[in-house]
Structure 1
């Protein structure tokens, strides 16, 4: 019986040591949930997906919503949104997201995700320059 349980215990230990985002895909879920909250006009819910650092900086969902409206309006009600590649950088995950706004303009955004005791949170968003188009 011990010989049979040892491989199972080793497998459980291996799975628990794997990166959290690879097991649950939670960073992309958090981003998708925030997009849904913006689409629904639910600023408190959208703000809840921001990291503690961003929440301290913006203090209220209204301040946060104002910043998003004026700096990242394409995420509020995009025509399309899809997850691209994700990469690990230390204890954070960078998730690239393609957003096509209602005018058909493509935007590439890198979402910096950090794992907190409350799960993955968005710690910042950066515009990515699109590669030049081939002719």
Structure 2
């Protein structure tokens, strides 16, 4: 320690001080990782209605042709992959029949940590049904749609089991 040319206190930064600061920062980061893991592992799995609500919100926005709102219900990975206009074009082209469904029913739910898969049936006016698997991910304390995959068509005669909305 000493004074520099202007009379201010000067403390030389030695290798020991640098190593100590670096060790402290790594320790702090490691502690944050452990605490985050503990908090996430203790969080209870979501009730199915929370997942259904996430799907319903996006469907309501799509049915109202509010594509910007529907885009906000998409996960960040989807938003990085598609711009809002690309998202709207994809929905109109690939998923237009979802918006015209007479009835929506929810089937099985599978939750694994911060991800979930929900089976959703869309029943058309003629009675035909289409089955989709919605992938959801927990982001910013809410569930976001991470992807939608078409399953198989369901025959008219088959009775769907699930929650009717």
Task: State the partner residue of 1:12.
Answer: none
Shift of 1:99: 0.3
Match of 2:93 among 70, 77, 83: 70
Task: State the partner residue of 2:56.
Answer: 32
Task: State the partner residue of 1:18.
Answer: 44
Tell me, in whole angstroms, the C-alpha distance in 1 between the residues paired with 2:67 and 2:125: 20
Task: State the partner residue of 2:73.
Answer: 49
* Aligned: 1:115 with 2:141: no
Task: State the partner residue of 1:79.
Answer: 102
Distance 1:120 1:129, change over 3 A: same
Given that residues 51 and 122 in structure 1 are in contact (C-alpha distance below 8 angstroms), is that contact kept between their aligned partners in structure 2? yes
Shift of 1:113: 0.5
**Structure 1 gap ranges (5+):** 1-15
SS at match of 1:129: strand
Shift of 1:29: 0.2
Shift of 1:37: 0.7
Task: State the partner residue of 1:13.
Answer: none
Aligned length: 116
SS at match of 2:65: coil
Distance 1:122 1:86, change over 3 A: same
Distance 1:63 1:86, change over 3 A: same
> What is the Cα-based RMSD across aligned positions, in Å?
2.3
TM-score by structure 1 length?
0.75
Shift of 1:100: 1.4
